[in-house]
Amino acid sequence: MAESRAEPGSPPILLGVSLKLYLDVERTARWAHDVAAIARSHPAVTDGSVELFVLPSLPAVPLVVQELAGTPVRVGAQDLHWDDRGAYTGAVSGQDLRTVGCALVEVGHAERRQIFGETDDVIGAKVAAAFRNGLVPVLCVGEHEPGSSTDAAHVCISQIESALRKVQIADAEIIIAYEPEWAIGQAEAASADHVRAVAATLADRLRQDPRFATVRVVYGGSAQPGTLTDLRGDVDGLFLGRYAHDPAELARIIDEAAALR
């Protein structure tokens, strides 16, 4: 299984990729093969200063785990069910995700909230299921409409408090993906000033709680080459979508992250 190589006291820049439902299994396997080659050869990845995780569609998870074996890249899933077993046709157990090699699981993406009607209660139960199964939650939060960074942070903090209210684990690893809904699937990311202000407020709020002292906040929403540089290191990393479909673009973003360290 892949393992993280982050050095204590020197936090890596975290780059996550969700493939959503964009790539079929065959193309996902080729993509993972290329990403594995990058991960094995890029000094910033091999020395742990840039940390990668990838979230393929569910049927591709075992192939991606296989492709990335022996690299530091962690693999996860895009969703899980709140119970591990039972009469839940079509649902996916966190226990099974762990068994097939997942280290993380995404919870609460805007598309899950909007298209699949997931409520804050459902998201909270899924975060609990992630922790119960030793999966690092990648908790997605974000405001619906463009507006002030103060209002956006308020919405996100409410989503975070609801999602984490049942978590009892001290110093748990958790990744918050700040994704303004209006910036997802666009040509450009949200403005750096907006993201910086919201991410700083979220990090401050979370670090007041000893349970979440090591939380990391990454930005997602049309993130692409240039976004991390624009943010000048004021987030812990990026959560990438379409702009990581080309492994060469992902390599460019890793180069940027390495230059910021």
Ligand X SMILES: O=C[C@H](O)COP(=O)(O)O
Query: What is the residue type of 86?
Result: G
Comparing C-alpha atoms, which of 253, 185, 247 is closest to residue 220? Answer: 185
- Examine residue 219 and tell whether it contacts ligand X (CB under 6 A): no
- Examine residue 149 and tell whether it contacts ligand X (CB under 6 A): no
Q: Which of 67, 111, 179, 256 is catalytic?
A: 179
- Examine residue 67 and tell whether it contacts ligand X (CB under 6 A): no
- Examine residue 223 and tell whether it contacts ligand X (CB under 6 A): yes
CA 33 to chain CA centroid, Å, is 20
Task: Return the residue of 12, 18, 139, 231 that touches ligand X, per CB under 6 A.
Answer: 18
Minimum CB distance to ligand X smaller for 88 or for 116: 116
Longest dimension (CA), the chain: 50
Q: Which of 51, 109, 143, 181 is catalytic?
A: 109
- Examine residue 184 and tell whether it contacts ligand X (CB under 6 A): yes
Minimum CB distance to ligand X smaller for 70 or for 185: 185
Q: How many residues bind ligand X (CB under 6 A)?
A: 13
Minimum CB distance to ligand X smaller for 31 or for 243: 243
Task: Return the residue of 59, 70, 134, 185 that touches ligand X, per CB under 6 A.
Answer: 185
Comparing C-alpha atoms, which of 245, 190, 228, 241 is closest to residue 44? Answer: 228
91 burial via Cβ count (<10 Å: 0-12, 13-18, 19+): middle
**Candidate ranges 24-32, 33-41, 196-204, 214-222; the one touching ligand X (CB under 6 A):** 214-222
Nearest 5°: CA angle at 106, between 105 and 110?
165
- Examine residue 112 and tell whether it contacts ligand X (CB under 6 A): no
Residue 97 exposure: Cα atoms within 13 Å on the Cβ side: 34
- Examine residue 179 and tell whether it contacts ligand X (CB under 6 A): yes
Residues with Cβ < 8 Å from 137, sequence gap 6 or more?
A: 104, 105, 106, 107, 126, 127, 130, 131, 174, 175
- Examine residue 221 and tell whether it contacts ligand X (CB under 6 A): yes
What residues act catalytically?
109, 179
Which residues of the shown chain bind ligand X in the complex (CB under 6 A)?
18, 179, 184-185, 220-223, 239-243
